[in-house]
Amino acid sequence: MSEAAGGPADISLTIGGDAGQGVESSGAGFSLALARAGYQVFSISDYQSRIRGGHNFYQIRAANYPIYAHSDPPHLLVALTEESVEVHAARLAEQGGVIYDASLAGVERLVEEAGALPFPAPLAEIAERHGNRVMANTAALGLAAAIIGLDLAPVVGVIEQRFGEKSKELARKNAQVAEDAYAFGLERYAGIFRYKLPPPPAAKPHILISGNEAFSLGAAAGGCRFIAAYPMTPATSILEWMTYRAKELGIVTKHAEDEIAAVCMAIGASFAGARAMTATSGGGFDLMVEALGLAGIVELPLVVVEVQRGGPSTGLPTRTEQSDLLSVIHASHGEYPKIVLAPGTAVEYFECGWRAFNLADKYQTPVIVVADQFLAGSPRTVPADALRYESVQIDRAKTIPPASLPRDSVASGLLAHPNGSNGGTGNGAIHEAGHYLRHAFTEDGISPRGLPGDPRTIHALTSDEHDPEGHITENKEIRVQMHGKRMRKLELARAEMRPPSLIGEPDADLTLITWGSTVGPAREALALIAEHGLRANLLHFCDIWPFPAEKVMPLLAGVRRSIAVEQNYTAQFCRLLRMETGYKVDHAVLKWDGRPFSPQEIAASVLEEVGARA
């Protein structure tokens, strides 16, 4: 944290407690209060795969300048249990403080041993005064606001909104608890604590949103009308988001009996003409793999979100990792075109929400969006105008609209003139002797797709190799031509895959390479690395497959020294890069502990790796 008056400044606090104690809801509420007060916020939620008990924590960072990750070390700990003091007190910043209930025996000694400032308060007592000691969390947040210098009004605003949904009485009591604790904090501790929030910047409006929420919003805006999924952390919240709003938005959502059913339902809905998707994590994705090849060979659009967590097998169910990349790219036997996107920010993930459907419709093939727990589950502020309705495009490409839509001229055009052909018989035509050719051989490999219910485009799909009409065939020439037609789509898609984004100055001593969510902390690490006299920049990849090698190689040519930052053991992206370009990344910072990288951790590892650390 910088303490220069008026300059950029940030503060981090950690709320720790047992599962079931309200750590998550307290953290989310306090994050929202900070965002409403005008701060930029980035929060991470650290929890275990259990319903009650076990230590959980929520870490919130608030700043008056743009931030892209959480930050270490935290300055203030809100300890709901003695265990959270044991876990977190020692990692607080110098002169950091610990808020805890005065009745927690032995905590003061732990706090002092850790060199932190004790901020005991009668939290349960204040709560009880207004009715119930379960409101002690509210008291802790009121106290925290006082200590870090957050105005109480936004805190009370969030409390009134959240509890008000249940009962006005409950909202009022909680607000009183927060007010009492705030007054207590102002009187006893406000002058002692050295870490204060800077005055809120006169910022443009921000929203506080997690990755999965941003994706869901983008998908809904992009015409997604069907999701079938099986609950699996950390992907479940996408199915839940759509289901809560299913009636309001007119989206069909289905909690299927397993992931195989989920992906097959999405494929069925896509065949019928709906924009359809499924969402899962690694284990569920493994179950879906056979069906991906089905969508590939029958040429149906399909969007799959794969939110990675620690693997293999059940692995680290609630934690983050980037270890499914190569598995996803190579998923399903045989060869078929497939598109893989790996968004790293909430804005990219939002964009993938609608972009994936456009790509799936255009190339009539599966598009897989690879996210991870860190991106999916971490709420962060995003400028409200970064998620723009006007930016969303819906392009169903060569999907022939049902006759009921007032776009029949589009359909007629597609029926008559695929790829500019005259619609007669022969190569490129989609009708032959009165039969509709679902898989007509076209120059670009994409055939106009009719939908069930349309009398003009009757056809059957088959997972066997087939002729243009869709009939099973083992004819050598047709097989060669049909496989070629499908794979041509991959080459066409490659041309529209975006190059990596360059963050920082083009001229640098060191270039960090990231894909997916590590871009946030890596981006912030650049400044920390610069403090050691090294000029670093960053190449961040979102469009992963088909790999846009021709766009990437000129960028790599100018790199002096490269270092990849990945959350896996085998440097999967480095392998992919080498496979597709021949480029060998010089260094890799890798980890597989299930915890997201902080900027400080990346900077330290990078400096150590390149031998720049004193």
Judged by CB under 8 A, the chain residues 352 through 391 that form the site for another protein are: 354, 384, 387, 389
Q: Interface with another protein includes 334 (CB under 8 A)?
A: no
Considering beta carbons, is residue 35 or 62 the nearer one to another protein?
Answer: 35
Secondary structure of residue 358 in the 3-state scheme: helix
Among 15, 17, 36, 61, binds another protein (CB under 8 A): 36
In whole angstroms, the minimum distance from the beta carbon of 170 to another protein comes to: 21
Distance CA 274, CA 292 (A): 17
In whole angstroms, the minimum distance from the beta carbon of 463 to another protein comes to: 6
The contacts of residue 335 (CB under 8 Å, 6+ apart) are 483, 487
In whole angstroms, the minimum distance from the beta carbon of 225 to another protein comes to: 4
Among 134, 153, 394, 495, binds another protein (CB under 8 A): 394
Among 455, 506, 533, 611, binds another protein (CB under 8 A): 455
Q: Interface with another protein includes 296 (CB under 8 A)?
A: no
Cis peptide bond upstream of 452, omega within 30? no
In 3D space, the residue among 459, 45, 488 whose CA is nearest the CA of residue 271 turns out to be 459
Cis peptide bond upstream of 448, omega within 30? no
Considering beta carbons, is residue 90 or 252 the nearer one to another protein?
Answer: 252
In whole angstroms, the minimum distance from the beta carbon of 220 to another protein comes to: 5
Q: Interface with another protein includes 153 (CB under 8 A)?
A: no
What beta strand segments (E) does 188-251 contain? 206-209, 226-229
In whole angstroms, the minimum distance from the beta carbon of 449 to another protein comes to: 12
In whole angstroms, the minimum distance from the beta carbon of 471 to another protein comes to: 6
Q: Interface with another protein includes 257 (CB under 8 A)?
A: yes
- Residues between 259 and 278 with contacts to another protein, criterion CB under 8 A: 260-262, 264-276
In whole angstroms, the minimum distance from the beta carbon of 380 to another protein comes to: 11
Report the DSSP beta bridge partners of residue 40.
63
- Residues between 219 and 238 with contacts to another protein, criterion CB under 8 A: 220-226, 228
Distance CA 520, CA 525 (A): 9
Q: Interface with another protein includes 239 (CB under 8 A)?
A: no
Q: Interface with another protein includes 453 (CB under 8 A)?
A: yes
User: Angle 2-15-347 (CA atoms, 0-180°, nearest 5)?
Assistant: 65
Stretch that binds another protein, among 42-50, 399-407, 567-575, 585-593 (CB under 8 A): 399-407
In whole angstroms, the minimum distance from the beta carbon of 555 to another protein comes to: 34
Stretch that binds another protein, among 229-237, 286-294, 417-425, 573-581 (CB under 8 A): 286-294
Among 60, 298, 352, 510, binds another protein (CB under 8 A): 298
Report the DSSP beta bridge partners of residue 46.
57
Distance CA 217, CA 222 (A): 8
Distance CA 123, CA 110 (A): 19
Among 6, 248, 313, 507, binds another protein (CB under 8 A): 248
Secondary structure of residue 325 in the 3-state scheme: helix
The contacts of residue 514 (CB under 8 Å, 6+ apart) are 344, 522, 538, 539, 540, 541, 564, 565, 566
Among 33, 41, 148, 291, binds another protein (CB under 8 A): 291
Among 212, 253, 364, 537, binds another protein (CB under 8 A): 253
What beta strand segments (E) does 249-390 contain? 252-255, 276-280, 302-308, 339-341, 366-372, 380-383
In whole angstroms, the minimum distance from the beta carbon of 260 to another protein comes to: 7
Main-chain phi, psi angles of 470, to 5 degrees: 105, 5
In whole angstroms, the minimum distance from the beta carbon of 553 to another protein comes to: 37
Distance CA 265, CA 335 (A): 23
